[in-house]
């Protein structure tokens, strides 16, 4: 597979590199914002699970265009390359200390919006992946309840499943409006969507806590039958298709590839804008280069051959000891 294959298969990946976004997910936030105007008038914003930083880039671009004094805090367990104007915290979103640091950076005020594009490493076991994603959203909500002002908004990635209605009901207890948004840049074949919660209004007597589990907020009393207020597709339906492969001679600077012959000859492969700063697989790659895995495989193969030889000996002995088994095997 050549290095240009993903540019053909994923037009938004290519667009992200062309427009200096760190990841294609930047288009998802922009399309949701274009539809709901959730960043309009925002002066304080928090980006959870922020690395590599594409959503923080969008916040920086759109908030600072409207208000140069806006403040943005990005949080992630992994280190993240700096973004001008964005305060970065390398910390745990399940820690009260992290929530307190956010409020300190806002000079004691709370955020107007909290966004979270985080997701667990998928296992391929859909029920487990959906559960882990729901737990991550819960963790994001727990810290959100500490740092979000009343009337603020919350946006998080969700994996749609048969149990998603429970999550919608939980969010509906704390927000007046709950929408399910599907950006055009999110593949239609993917169960990914985004739960958008508007107008934070916690129940009377509610006390934020980081220790709340999903079992503790399953009460959906007072929630009407219409759990969500709408499923909304965001983005230009006549624009780029995230499921379609495009030839390299289509110039991405033009809508739907409407370009001249001169434009079509301008394609030039570009590397990603910001590679991972400290990827978890870095150590594994070094081990592979130094032959550690090869040595391990050789030892494993020797052990397998040794055990196979032992099993053959046992089978041979069993056949000699039991003529009936030997006759059946010949058949």
In this structure, are 27 and 170 located in the same domain?
Answer: yes
Question: What percent of the chain is predicted at pLDDT more than 90?
Answer: 47
**Confidence at 320, pLDDT banded by 50, 70, 90:** low
Residue 249 lies in a domain: no
* pLDDT digits 0-9 by tens, 263-297: 555 667 677 777 777 776 777 777 778 877 777 77
φ, ψ of residue 178 in degrees (nearest 5): -130, 120
Domain match, 104 and 229 both:
yes
The reply to whether 312 and 205 lie within a common domain is: no
90 pLDDT above the threshold of 80: yes
DSSP string spanning 115-148? EE---PPP-S-HHHHHHHHHHHHHHHHHHHHHHE
Asked if 297 and 220 sit in the same domain, the reply is: no
Peptide bond into 305 cis (omega under 30): no
- pLDDT of 225 higher than 50: no
Identify the domain containing residue 54 by its residue range: 5-234
Distance, CA of 159 to CA of 153 (rounded, Å): 20
Alpha-carbon span 63 to 180, nearest angstrom: 23
Question: Are 32 and 146 members of one domain?
Answer: yes
The 10s digit of each residue's pLDDT in 151-185 is: 999 999 999 888 788 889 889 999 999 999 999 99
**Do residues 288 and 212 share a domain?**
no
Q: How many domains does the chain have?
A: 2
Q: State the pairing for strand pair 148-159/192-200.
A: antiparallel
Query: Is residue 152 domain-shared with residue 69, that is, in the same domain?
Result: yes
**Predicted model pTM:** 0.78
Contacts of 51 (CB under 8 A, 6+ apart): 76, 78, 79, 80, 276, 277
- Based on the fold, state whether residues 172 and 297 are members of the same structural domain: no
CA 42 to each of CA 39, 64, 68, 103: distance values in angstroms, whole numbers, following the listed order: 5, 10, 11, 16
Domain boundary among 175, 204, 234: 234
pLDDT at 299: 80
59-44-171 Cα angle (round to 5): 90
> 88 falls in which pLDDT band (50, 70, 90)?
very high
Q: Are residues 163 and 104 in the same domain?
A: yes
Q: What is the DSSP letter of 215?
A: G
Summary mean pLDDT of the chain = 83
Domain endpoint, select from 196, 219, 234: 234
> What distance in Å separates the CA atoms of residue 226 and residue 242, rounded to the nearest whole number?
30
158 and 52 within one domain: yes
Question: How many other C-beta atoms lie within 10 A of the C-beta of residue 196?
Answer: 26
Cα separation, 289 vs 284, whole angstroms: 9
Q: How confident is the model at residue 71 (pLDDT cuts 50, 70, 90)?
A: very high
Report the distance separating Cα 96 and Cα 87, nearest Å: 18
The CA–CA distances, whole Å, from 226 to 158, 194, 196, 220, 311 equal: 19, 18, 15, 12, 63
DSSP annotation of 313: H
Task: Give the pLDDT score at 67.
Answer: 94
Spot the catalytic one: 71, 157, 172, 182. 157
Determine, yes or no, domain membership for 247.
no
Domain membership of residue 248 (yes or no) is no
Answer yes or no: do 295 and 210 share one domain.
Answer: no
Pair 68, 163 in one domain: yes
- Residue 156: CB atoms within 10 A of its CB come to 25
Tell me whether residue 259 is in a domain: no
At 308 the pLDDT is 77
The CATH number linked to 181 is 3.40.50.150
* 111 falls within a domain: yes
> How many other C-beta atoms can be found within 10 angstroms of the C-beta atom of residue 133?
24
Using the 3D structure, point to which of 234, 268, 293 is the last residue of a domain: 234
Does residue 257 form part of some domain? Answer: no
Angle (nearest 5°) at CA 76 between 70 and 78: 135
Asked if residue 211 has pLDDT above 90, the reply is: no
In a domain, 18, yes or no: yes
User: Which pLDDT does position 215 carry in this prediction?
Assistant: 45
**157 has catalytic annotation:** yes
The contacts of residue 196 (CB under 8 Å, 6+ apart) are 32, 36, 38, 153, 154, 155, 178, 179, 180, 181
Rounded Cα distance, 292 and 42, in Å: 51
Residue 254 is assigned to a structural domain of this protein: no
């Amino acid at each position: 597979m050549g290095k240009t294959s993903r540019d053909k298969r994923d037009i938004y990946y290519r667009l992200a590199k062309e427009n200096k976004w760190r990841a294609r997910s930047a288009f998802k936030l922009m399309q949701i914002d274009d539809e709901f105007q959730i960043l309009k008038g925002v002066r304080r914003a928090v980006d959870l699970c922020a690395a590599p930083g594409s959503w923080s880039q969008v916040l920086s671009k759109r908030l600072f265009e409207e208000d140069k004094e806006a403040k943005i805090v990005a949080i992630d367990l992994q280190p993240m390359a700096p973004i001008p104007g964005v305060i970065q915290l390398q910390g745990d979103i399940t820690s009260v200390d992290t929530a307190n640091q956010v409020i300190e950076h806002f000079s004691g005020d709370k955020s107007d919006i909290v966004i979270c594009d985080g997701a667990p490493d998928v296992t391929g076991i859909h029920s487990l992946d959906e559960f882990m994603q729901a737990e991550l959203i819960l963790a994001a909500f727990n810290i959100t309840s500490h740092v979000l002002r009343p009337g603020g908004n919350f946006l998080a990635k969700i994996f749609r499943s048969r149990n998603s209605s429970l999550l919608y009901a939980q969010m509906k207890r704390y927000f007046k409006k709950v929408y399910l948004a599907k950006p055009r840049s999110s593949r239609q074949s993917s169960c990914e969507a985004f739960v958008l919660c508007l107008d934070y209004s916690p129940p009377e007597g509610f006390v934020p806590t980081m220790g709340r589990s999903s079992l503790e907020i399953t009460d959906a009393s007072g929630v009407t039958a219409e759990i969500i207020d709408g499923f909304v597709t965001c983005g230009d339906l006549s624009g780029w298709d995230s499921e379609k492969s495009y030839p390299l001679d289509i110039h991405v600077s033009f809508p739907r590839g409407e370009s001249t012959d001169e434009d079509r000859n301008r394609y030039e492969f570009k590397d990603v804008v910001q590679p991972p700063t400290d990827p978890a697989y870095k150590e594994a790659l070094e081990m592979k280069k130094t032959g550690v895995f090869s040595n391990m495989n050789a030892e494993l193969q020797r052990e397998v051959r040794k055990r196979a030889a032992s099993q053959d000996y046992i089978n041979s002995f069993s056949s000699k000891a039991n003529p009936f088994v030997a006759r059946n095997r010949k058949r």
